[in-house]
Structure 1
């Protein structure tokens, strides 16, 4: 059975917010959205209320909805939450992951490395594809933790964190490529202490990169 119109519209709107196609504080006009996303006004209201719960949209009472704003303070908080959740899940995955998990990490890293190679060669564009592959790799590294509630919460935090990268609109360069390769090797080598330390530095350097772009207070 196919997805409903509402579910398809929800995924598209959410993706457009995370990927920066709908910018922070953008007024979400229901009549215009009905044309773009092919859903009724009633369905769109339900979707926007759902996204407000995820803190990707702000409800303004009778005045409607806006894309959630951004700030340096929120970005730092999201980074801290990502580190807390992801390092815990990473330790657990390294402790209990099997050979299939290892293979999934290697495969996800290969896909990411191709995206990074292409992005480095082009020197522009393609950041949205990189963010998708980056998510795939980091998700793979923690997928053996066996904690579905943690994984769902991490996914939400990761998307909100990634939105800041998309708004910065530039790639971090060779350093992040090297980080990912080293993280793959530490994970496969079952070096939890080294992997957690590298992951923490990796996320913190991402924050410094985005803040350095000068788009946020």
Structure 2
């Protein structure tokens, strides 16, 4: 199962073309977010046709959609490339995620009911089980770990009442996740404790506490990613 962070709404009876386009979009997006396609890599249509079993017209549509999400770049006649990465962009994406997620938590904490609380607790339970495996140095399921991480953070904001806010947050979360996958960092007990604190703050409806923990949580992830210093960083301007 992919960590697909923004789910597209289809018509009740989607056409075959729509279904194929969505499938290819999800697969290509996943490969970029999880760094199966590396930053700066040229995306050649013939190779993509074979990899995703898709027509050139479908691929062009998908590639342009991903350009709008800033996961792919295009430059004149040079074609399409996986978007590059830089220290500056990581910091910008992290700050934007903090801004969006903090606002969404405020709205969600105010509106959430008992059912929402149950969703938060259940999402944290699944994440914690995966974190226990990571703490035991079992790194074989990194995609499942990040899927549960996503589901927990989504649960925290799921009662915010704004589909637009969650969609924008989802795209930013994906772009932040790509940097984490590039560095493949797990901050161990510190991150585990911060997730526990976020769950408790949600149950207590303590927005101020949750936002303070979230900032430390994301800033810590940025510091770890920067310290890993993968070789694909673009120079900062």
What range is the shorter-chain TM-score in? over 0.9
Once the two structures are overlaid, the 10-residue window that deviates more, 104-113 or 126-135, is: 126-135
Give 5+ residue unaligned stretches, structure 2: 1-12
Q: Select which of 28, 48, 69 maps to 1:33.
A: 48
Cα contact 1:127–1:170 (8 A) shared by 2: no
State the Cα distance separating 1:123 from its structure 2 match. 4.4
Q: Please state whether the residue corresponding to 1:144 is helix, strand or coil.
A: coil
Cα contact 2:185–2:224 (8 A) shared by 1: no
Higher helix content, 1 or 2: 1
1:22 and 2:31 are equivalent in the alignment: no
1:156 and 2:171 are equivalent in the alignment: yes
1:193 and 2:218 are equivalent in the alignment: no
Which residue number in structure 1 is paired with residue 6 of structure 2?
none
Cα contact 1:5–1:38 (8 A) shared by 2: no
Cα contact 1:90–1:142 (8 A) shared by 2: yes
**Cα RMSD for the two superposed structures:** 1.3
1:80 and 2:95 are equivalent in the alignment: yes
Q: State the 4+ residue runs in structure 1 displaced beyond 3 angstroms.
A: none
State the Cα distance separating 1:128 from its structure 2 match. 2.3
Q: Please state whether the residue corresponding to 1:58 is helix, strand or coil.
A: strand
How many corresponding residue pairs? 217
1:135-214 map, 5 Å: 135-214=150-229
Which residue number in structure 2 is paired with residue 103 of structure 1?
118
Q: What is the TM-score when the length of structure 2 is the normalising length?
A: 0.88
Give 5+ residue unaligned stretches, structure 1: none
Which residue number in structure 2 is paired with residue 122 of structure 1?
137
Q: What is the TM-score when the length of structure 1 is the normalising length?
A: 0.96
1:121-166 residue CA offsets vs partner (Å, 9 max, x unmatched): 1343432222111111001001111111111100000000010000
C-alpha distance in structure 1 between counterparts of 2:185 and 2:97, whole Å: 21
Cα contact 1:111–1:133 (8 A) shared by 2: yes
